[in-house]
Amino acid sequence: MDGTVGGHTATIPSSPLLPSDERGAPGQPDTPASASNPASAADAPHASSAATVDRSAEFAARQTKLNRRTAENEYRYEVAEHNCYSTFFVNHCLGKARDTMRSEKAKIRIDQLALDEEQRVVHAAQRDANTSARMAQDAADAPQHEASEKASQAAYEEKQRQHQLDAASRATSAPATEATNQAAYDKKQADFQAKLEEAQRNAAQDAAQRAHNVSKFDEKQRTAAEHQETVKQRQAKAAANASQAAAASAAAASAAQPASAAGK
C-alpha cells in the first residue's frame, strides 16, 4: 500500500489484521444497504427470530472490518507522520496527515454508529419476540395453571376439613382416653406396689432364714466343741486309770519279791 504525503512517497505494508480481499479503499465505508435505509432498520423488529439470530454473525463480521479499518487508519497516520519529518514543510505535512486520519476516523465513526443502531434495533426485536412468545406460552398454559391452582385449593380445603374432624374426634374421645390412661396408670402402680411388698416379704424371709442358718451353724460348732472336750476328758481319765493300774501292779510285784526270798 503506497501513500504520498508532502511530496514524498511512503510505502505502507499491508496490515496483517486484514486480508487483502476484505480491505476497502480508504474513505469508503463498509456500510450495508440496511444502514443507509432507515426503513429497513425500522422493519427489523418484525423479522423472525431465526433471521435475528442469523444477523448476529453479520454484525460480528462488520464489527471486525470496522476494527481493522481503525487499525489501518492509525497505522497509515503513524507512517505518514514519520515521513513528514523528512520533508521541508513538516507542519503542513503533519496537518494533512492528521486531516486525512480524522476524515477516515469520522467515516468509521459513522459506520460504527450505524452498526450499533442496527444491533440495538435487532436486539429490541429479539426482546419483543421473546416477550411475545413468553406471553403466548403463558396464555396457553393459563388453563392448566388455573386447574392446578383449583386442585391445590381443593386439596388444602380437604386437608383443613380433615384436620377439624380429627380435632373433634380427639375432643370427643378425650374423656374415655383419659379414663383408660388413668386405669392403666393405677394398675401399673398397684402392680408395682404388690411387687415391692412381695420383695420386702422375700427379703424378710431371706433374713430370717439366714439368721436360722447362722444359729444352726453356731449350735453345731458348740456341739462339736463340747464333744471334743468330752473326748479329751475321757482320754485323760483313761490315761490316769492306766497309770494308776500300772503303779499298783508295780507295787504288788515289788512286795512279792521279798516274801519269796525269805521262804528260800
Task: Please give the pLDDT value at position 72.
Answer: 98
C-alpha cell at 29: 465505508
Contacts of 13-20 with CB under 8 Å at 24 or more apart are 15/68, 15/71, 15/72, 15/75, 17/67, 17/68, 17/71, 17/72, 18/65, 18/68, 18/69, 18/71, 18/72
**Could you state, in order of their start, the residue ranges of all structural domains in the chain?**
2-141, 194-237
Look at residue 5 and give its three-state secondary structure.
strand
Q: According to the model, what pLDDT value does residue 258 have?
A: 67
Write out the chain's pLDDT in tens, 264 residues: 444 433 334 444 444 344 334 444 434 444 444 444 544 444 544 445 666 667 899 999 999 999 999 999 999 999 999 999 999 999 999 999 999 999 999 999 999 999 999 999 999 999 999 999 999 999 999 999 999 999 999 999 999 999 999 998 888 877 877 888 889 999 999 999 999 999 999 999 999 999 999 999 999 999 999 999 999 999 999 999 998 988 888 888 888 776 666 655
Let me know the angle formed at the C-alpha of 61 by 104 and 123, rounded to the nearest 5 degrees. 100
Q: Are 114 and 37 in contact (CB under 8 A)?
A: no
Comparing CA positions, the residue from 247, 250, 227 lying closest to residue 239 is: 247
What is the per-residue pLDDT for 18? 41
pLDDT at 49: 60
Q: What is the pTM of this model?
A: 0.38
